Amino acid sequence: MLGHVRDMNLAALPSVEKLSQRLAQQSQLPKSLVTGFIKRQLSPFRERLMAGEELTREEIESGITDALETFESSRLQPVLNGTGILIHTNLGRAPLGHRAAQAVYDVATNYCNLEIDLTTGKRGKRGAFLEEALAILVDAEAATVVNNCAASLVLTLRALIAEGKNEVIVSRGELVEIGGGFRIPDILETSGAKLVEVGATNKTHLRDYEQAITDRTALILKVHRSNFFLGGFTGEPELEELFDLAKTHHIPLVEDLGSGALMNTDQLAPIEHEPRPQEQLGKGIELVLFSGDKLLGGPQAGIIAGRADLVEKIKREPFYRAVRPDKMILTALQEVVIDYLTIKDDPTRIDLVPVLQMLNESPEDLRRKAADLQQRISEPSEIVETTGATGGGTMPKSQFPSVAVRTAKKPDLPHLFTRVEDDQHHIDPRTLRQPERE
């Protein structure tokens, strides 16, 4: 009897074949994917029916249809960033310039000289061009690249600590959480380093560092406060002083810079000065670590630059093999580095790197683009003064004036992200990309 009721219940289950036939037609996905998805969705419904829950076929079909829509929309695809936040981690951080993206396309769809020396036809060094160009760009003895800045920190720590010499000195004012669970103390632990905290949250003196140095000290680590700021009664030693101290004790001085602005971004927009790798290296930091896809405006990558012997040691660490980037990332970053060097020769070429171009946008251009945008949306709207930000855990204090199209209802543009303030949608044309804004 019970079995009979259960079977009657199960009769509400739709036919996989029929449902996938219908849903595959409505979606852009291969039918096999739709069928597989439906099958996986059906099993919890089957269990609920078996448990005696009353569900109609319509309910089940509409539940699966909605789930498929959500699944399909989770496919990675372009969206419109109208938030005015340049490096939005949830929106994929920095967009790549067209020239660099085209180079990736060419390398990806062909064979390439990844580890071949084209002049001799013999085995060559992977990333050799990029490493040389990067070193020239940031004025460092040497440079190398890994998958992201977090990996560059783990790798650097692993390479520079040793048995019985694994203490890493960090100021208490720099024990930051970057986001996504990335906390400096945890990173140190994963790397096998022993954290030696010095100073207080607001103030760390040179003597705090000095007193913490022992013969087990592997390095002094500075972490740039990239996503928060410290104000009031604060203080820390000058980098030059810290460098002298580290040098006297033959201890490397390493800085995790995070965002790594390669240009004086404060000259492009009215924002705070973000320390550049070349600047920090000039002050005596021996190794700087920074991201490829924050203010640099390239692909996701972590860059390590500085003293040649240290970079060499890092590349010899076995873990390097686990975090080295692939040919597409190497190509993208290589081309962005070339773009920077081109801009150095000719500042009018700033359009090559979207992040720089967007930062540099003039109020007149923004107003013109806002007016164009107004023409393209049907909702009643007005142009208002607003503020933009770099975002993505960079320059938390820096908000710069911008312009936005304000509407009460979100305009019907595909996958548009707006900034909602006072229940009104604000669309900043600064971060809308071509060709959408043309």
Ligand X SMILES: *Cc1c(COP(=O)(O)O)cnc(C)c1O
Evaluate the omega torsion of the peptide bond into residue 435 and state whether it is cis, within 30 degrees of 0.
yes
Minimal distance, residue 226 CB to ligand X, in Å: 3
Beta-ladder partners of 116: 123
Of 34 and 168, the one with the shorter C-beta distance to ligand X is 168
Question: CA 109 → CA 103, 112, 335, 338, 341, distances in Å?
Answer: 10, 9, 17, 21, 26
Residue nearest to ligand X (CB): 258
In this structure, the chain runs to a length of 438
For residue 283, how far is the Cα from the chain centroid? 27
Grouping H, G, I as helix, E, B as strand and the rest as coil, residue 213 is coil
Minimal distance, residue 257 CB to ligand X, in Å: 6
- Contact code string over 260-289 relative to ligand X, x by CB under 6 A: ------------------------------
Nearest-CA neighbor of 361 among 433, 418, 436, 276? 433
Site for ligand X in 143-172 (CB under 6 A): 148-150
Which of these ranges, 24-32, 218-226, 374-382, 403-411, lies near ligand X under the rule CB under 6 A? 218-226
Token pair 């550049």 in the structure block, residue: 276
Out of 135, 138, 178, 261, the only residue in the binding site for ligand X (CB under 6 A) is: 178
Minimal distance, residue 288 CB to ligand X, in Å: 11
Of 295 and 403, the one with the shorter C-beta distance to ligand X is 295
If binding is defined by CB under 6 A, does position 395 make contact with ligand X?
Answer: no
Grouping H, G, I as helix, E, B as strand and the rest as coil, residue 165 is strand
CB-count exposure of residue 366 (10 Å: 0-12, 13-18, 19+): buried
Beta-ladder partners of 291: 302
Which of these ranges, 7-15, 48-56, 103-111, 220-228, lies near ligand X under the rule CB under 6 A? 220-228
Out of 127, 277, 298, 302, the only residue in the binding site for ligand X (CB under 6 A) is: 302
Please give the structure tokens belonging to residue 236. 């820390």
Of 127 and 393, the one with the shorter C-beta distance to ligand X is 393
Give me the helix-helix angle, 308-316 and 149-160, nearest 10°: 90
Out of 20, 166, 226, 398, the only residue in the binding site for ligand X (CB under 6 A) is: 226
Grouping H, G, I as helix, E, B as strand and the rest as coil, residue 149 is helix
- Contact code string over 236-265 relative to ligand X, x by CB under 6 A: --------------------x-xx------
Site residues, ligand X (CB under 6 A)? 148-150, 178, 182, 223-224, 226-227, 256, 258-259, 291, 302, 393
